[in-house]
Structure 1
Amino acid sequence: AAWWPIFINITLLNQTHCAKFEQSPSLFEEENEIVTIKCSHNDSSLLVMLWYQQKSGSTTMSLIGFGYATGNPTIEEGFKERFELKRNGTEKGDLIISKLVSSDSAVYYCASQCENYEPAYFGGGTKLTELKVKLLNHSSEEECTEKRVTLVCLAEDFYPDHIDLAWYIDDKEESTGVAKDDSAKLNTDSNTYSISSRLSIPFKKWNQGNTYKCKVTFHYPKEKSNDGKWTTESSTRWESLTAPKRKSLHFFTFHRW
């Protein structure tokens, strides 16, 4: 009879090893928005669901909270103000973060276990990224030459590298004078990408008071459909600046009588 509890424990471990977790690989949101990170698995014996946060460059994870299929979840100190956990039965749960701030950018892991003293099994994690887009004005040296000015649109810290950049002048898409990086550059420290696009404009056109806009569209897998394929979602950011409208100079010739 002494081997019976050991046999049960081994059986449970084998069952949970086969559990299949589903988490969206990545999500993009802006500051002050609300994001919902979903998690599901296919093992009804995993009664406890836990959520962890891992910051970029860190090898440790912080426990956000945990909960059973029924009852109120437990949220750890430091996360109580803006983090919420929800369970949709035994096999599904959500992590909801409100009023996003830049420091929320991290990988969020869903994990489950049979009881709180047993091993936990993890999903692949969801990388939450703040959309970072900058529109850089031309240099003062270009202003002095009065030939052309160059605007730079820079998108940073995104993952995966599925992204589109487009330029608009007064709400009309512009393709003349546009140059873009051949591919996004990988930052191996943060495992995120960056890319830039440049718009070169004749100086005379620049001085007409037009509004220049950079449109950045991020594409990322959100959740799996019933056929096992990921559905794709897009998030768009706009950055703009308005060029100065300079008055024409009129020269007069005075004749001395």
Structure 2
Amino acid sequence: MQRPDIKESSLEIKNLIEEDSGIYFSHIVLQSTRFMSVLPGDEVTLDCSMAAGVRMSSYIMYWYKQDHYGEPIQLIIKENDKPTQNYEAILNTNDNRFSLKVSKVTAQDSVTYYCAAGSQAIFGEGTKLTVLERDVKEPEVEILKPSGIETRCKKTITLVCVAEKFYPDHVSITWTLGDKEIKENVATDPYATQDKTTKLFSMTSRLKVSKKEFKPKNKYRCTVNFYNGTHDISDNTDEINGIEGISLDIN
């Protein structure tokens, strides 16, 4: 079987960028680690594999990086390339695994790395690497109460969840009603913003709720899942119950 190759012109690579997710990706290429944190000067290895029944030997494999959300991706290295000063590609077709070794990391290596396969540039979902510049800090989470004007004059209520003062920006935000996750009418910032002085991040998520559903029996919870460098922490939460009636007085 002839192995397909990727088209590497800047125009063709640019056409792979999507406004929604930043790039086109598929569940064929698997990157099990979503976040990684390391100290300056460390060496780190990122791995990717293929979905069950898909052989890596059928593709030429690549590693890309994206400095910030929405920016173009950049080709770093492909299989069988000679190692550079910072990067080394390691292919193990027997184990269906392709790795990227990054040596002597600096703050400039704090980017998202994407593993990709084949002529159609099938991407994994990416691994965000942060070279730590300060101590890790968990997020503070608060749901802002809707204003009385909003509950009196509008048919829907917007709940705003604010996660702030965290580092690094290895977070995801989910809304739940009782034990059920809410996926509709949710708008979450595509990326966290950083205070240049403290290096701490903040991020918000908004949930629109029908006024008739905003009742005392319904408890809305915002959960900020945070990766602290060794494991995920999901107890950073705040919650709010609905209030009966068409008005809500906030003093």
TM-score, structure 2 normalization: 0.43
TM-score, structure 1 normalization: 0.42
Name the structure where strand makes up a greater proportion of residues: 1
Structure exhibiting the larger radius of gyration computed from Cα positions: 1
